[in-house]
Amino acid sequence: MNTILRPHAEVEYAEELVLLAAQDTYRRPEGWRLSPQAVVTYILGGKLPQGQSIAPKYYGDRRLVEIAVATLVTDRALLLVGLPGTAKTWLAEHLAAAISGDSSLLVQGTAGQSEDALRYTWNYARLLTEGPSPAALVPSPVMRAMQEGKLARVEELTRMPSEVQDSLITTLSEKIMPVPELNTEVQAIRGFNLIATSNDRDRGVNELSGALKRRFNTVVMPLPASLEEEVLIVQQRVEQLGATLEMLPGATPVEEIRRLVTIFRELRSGKTEDGKRQLKSPDSTLSTAEAISVIHSGQALAVHFGDGKLGAGDLAAALTGAIVKDPSRDQAAWKEYLETVIKTRAEWKDLYQKCRELG
């Protein structure tokens, strides 16, 4: 029995990647497992020449995905920018899986990051006994990607201090990584490139320098364009998570997802879906990713402490905490929405009562 909670994309979708590779008739760039056209099919889904179906991994503008893939064919790196929850990490992982067959070469950006995370460090036991040597060097995921001709991923690039970010400039422009301690350098082989993600909404963001920005082609990741599209995304991901965690089948009614997504979209935009009422917006992001988390939390309550069917009480219990992140700022916006919108919708009376009970 497989006990891995979340397999890498190249493992979870291995059968689809094999099918695509077997039927891919387009030219593949050197170092790529699939052609650019096949990568787009893997990401967006579609029919293969022999009739098999590829499931969509990302719902959105086809042109945006084509631009992202075309960027990685060139010598420019790819920067995916957008609000939290706009599937930046998800798209980056699947691009790496389809192109390199390996999405694990990952650096997670943090405020306390040093250059070592993007370059290399040392096995200090060997360093003390042998001095600097190739055997004592421990490559970063970026260095390994250069050596193996694969894609490296850097998550939350703008969380890193600016001087750490700039250590990528030589790597991205010259495709080399100097190792002065060994009087040598690592040269990237064909197939190497880098995908970074960034958002400018959260606190603790460090602006990219102009020199580093020029090394990237930036693609802005939008929020889902329509209510139906966002409902579909949430439904698909919740069903995948439910299967992984062995939730009961049928515990995710689409109508509950639709109610939640409507609430999130209205509070995000500051107006109701029909545009007739202006609303206060809370500071919380209310992204698609958070909607997935709310439904999944409500589903867990229903399965383990209820009748197995997600209802208004389960949804309300998870919903309030997602919206009211800061009581001093978000509570007023949520209460106003509760009394002026949810209360007035006859089909939402059960949700109104449950939210009121929670205060």
Higher-pLDDT residue of 304, 71: 71
- What whole-number percentage of the chain has pLDDT above 70? 95
- Phi, psi dihedrals of residue 133, rounded to the nearest 5°: -155, 160
Mean of pLDDT over the chain: 91
Same domain, 184 and 162: yes
Give tens-digit pLDDT for 225-244. 899 999 999 988 888 776 66
pLDDT of 1 over the 50 cut = no
113-140 core/surface letters (b: 16 or more CB in 10 A; e: else): bebebbbbeeeeeebeeeeeeeebbebb
Mean pLDDT of 46-75: 94
Confidence of residue 284 (pLDDT cuts 50, 70, 90): confident
Q: Are residues 184 and 240 in the same domain?
A: no
Taking residues 330-336, report their average pLDDT.
90
140 versus 325: which is more confidently predicted?
A: 140
* Listed residues 220, 236, 266: the one ending a domain: 220
Amino acid 244: pLDDT: 62
Q: Write out pLDDT tens, residues 63-82.
A: 999 999 999 999 899 999 99
Domain residue limits at 114: 9-220
45 and 17 within one domain: yes
Confidence at 245, pLDDT banded by 50, 70, 90: low
Residue 160: predicted pLDDT: 94
Q: Write the pLDDT tens digit of every residue in 164-206.
A: 999 999 999 999 999 999 999 999 999 999 999 998 766 668 8
The answer to whether position 1 is within a domain reads: no
Residues 171 and 296 in one domain: no
201 secondary structure, DSSP code: S
- What total number of domains does the chain contain? 2
pLDDT for residue 241 = 75
pLDDT at residue 261 in the model: 94
Do 237 and 140 have their domain in common? Answer: no
Q: Is residue 309 part of a domain?
A: yes
- Those residues with Cβ within 8 angstroms of residue 327's Cβ, 6 or more apart along the chain or in another chain: none
CB 143 within 8 A of CB 120: yes
User: Which residue, 202, 220, 238, sits at the end of a domain?
Assistant: 220
Does residue 194 share a domain with residue 152?
yes
Question: Residue 192 corresponds to which tokens in the numbers above?
Answer: 């190497």
Confidence band, pLDDT 50/70/90 cuts, at residue 84: confident
For residue 176, the cross-strand partners are: 187
Closest C-alpha to 119, from 175, 207, 179? 179
Mean pLDDT of 293-313: 87
Once rounded to an integer, what is the mean pLDDT over residues 215-233? 92
251 neighbors 242 (Cβ within 8 angstroms): yes
